[in-house]
């Protein structure tokens, strides 16, 4: 399970100015405020014009010339597409520990503030909703590899037992304040436990994530990449993925 919310994307105007600095081509920039007249960008100039999915609402829109240059530089690789580092994304992500252990591979160009397991693990009673357990079965009949005899494993029952023991340790910790019961929670806590981070990323980091994670075996990574695809002008992020996968 992964929950992605409160997405903010910013830095477009600064990224465009920086992108055009090497060739002094600022006069060719055609992005601007949505509307009619010389001081505005109209539908004919808008990168969204096929189809144009907004009205003249005074919002900032990317122009076709700027979009074309962005795509050209992005497809040329991270050195030429470094303007993507200036397009910043803020987002809240709730996901299990096993997702975050892989996410922590991406250290450069990311910042995160997390909810604290160390300080707040005992703050509320543990329930199934605190964990990613959607793939756990109520039971599974299988052949024991040692004895070659049929066996039944109650996977979800075992998981519920773990939650029960976590709550027992929590109750004892709250009653006594004895740290030994806190340790029981910390060391018994499953890898599927959820916690939330407010994360700062950029389009360059997301490009690297998308290329190598969009077909990942974890549902959480595939859903994360689907979120990337919905970001404004996400083609600037995803444009290298097909080429990389074809050459793999």
Residue 107 sits in the same domain as residue 211: yes
Question: Could you tell me if 105 and 173 lie in one domain?
Answer: no
Domains: count for the chain: 2
Look-up of token digits 């405020």: 33
Region 9-14 average pLDDT? 96
pTM of the predicted protein model: 0.87
The band of 233, judged by pLDDT with boundaries at 50, 70 and 90, is very high
Looking at the predicted structure, is the pLDDT value of residue 54 above 60? no
Q: Is 84:233 a contact under the CB 8 Å cutoff?
A: no
Q: Indicate if 183 and 205 belong to the same structural domain.
A: no
Look at residue 64 and tell me whether its pLDDT is greater than 80: yes
Same domain for 150 and 92: no
Query: What CA dihedral angle connects 217, 129, 101 and 7, to 10 degrees?
Result: 90
Beta-carbon contacts of 20 under 8 Å, excluding residues fewer than 6 positions away, are: 26, 28, 29, 69
Calpha distance 114→123 (Å, rounded):
15
Among residues 171, 188, 205, which one ends one of the domains? 188
Q: Residue 36: which pLDDT band, with cuts at 50, 70 and 90?
A: low
**Residue 146 CB: number of other CB atoms within 10 A?**
7
pLDDT band at 61 (very low <50, low <70, confident <90, very high): confident
Name the CA dihedral angle for 41, 45, 50, 51, rounded to a multiple of 10 degrees.
20
Summarised one tens digit per residue, pLDDT across range 99-152 is 999 999 998 889 999 888 777 899 999 999 999 999 998 877 777 777 777 666
Host domain of residue 139: 122-188
Q: Of 245, 243, 242, 234, whose CA–CA distance to 67 is shortest?
A: 234
């Amino acid at each position: 399970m992964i929950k992605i919310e409160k997405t903010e994307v910013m830095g477009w105007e600064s990224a465009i100015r920086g992108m055009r600095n090497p060739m002094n081509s600022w006069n060719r920039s055609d992005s601007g405020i949505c509307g009619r007249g010389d001081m505005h960008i109209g539908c004919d100039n808008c990168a969204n014009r096929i189809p144009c999915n907004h009205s003249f609402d005074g919002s900032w829109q990317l122009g076709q010339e700027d979009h074309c240059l962005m795509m050209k530089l992005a497809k040329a690789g991270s050195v030429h597409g470094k303007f993507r580092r200036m397009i910043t994304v803020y987002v809240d992500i709730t996901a299990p520990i096993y997702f975050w252990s892989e996410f922590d591979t991406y250290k450069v160009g990311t910042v995160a503030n997390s909810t604290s397991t160390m300080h707040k693990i005992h703050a509320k009673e543990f329930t199934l909703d605190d964990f990613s357990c959607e793939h756990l079965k109520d039971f599974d009949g299988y052949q024991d590899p040692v004895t070659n005899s049929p066996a039944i494993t109650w996977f979800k029952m075992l998981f519920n037992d773990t939650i029960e023991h976590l709550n027992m340790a929590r109750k004892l910790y709250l009653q006594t304040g004895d740290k030994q019961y806190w340790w029981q929670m910390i060391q018994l806590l499953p890898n599927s436990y959820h916690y939330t981070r407010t994360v700062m990323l950029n389009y360059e980091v997301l490009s690297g994530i998308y290329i190598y994670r969009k077909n990942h075996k974890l549902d959480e990574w595939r859903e994360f990449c689907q979120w990337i695809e919905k970001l404004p002008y996400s083609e600037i992020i995803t444009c290298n993925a097909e080429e990389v996968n074809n050459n793999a």
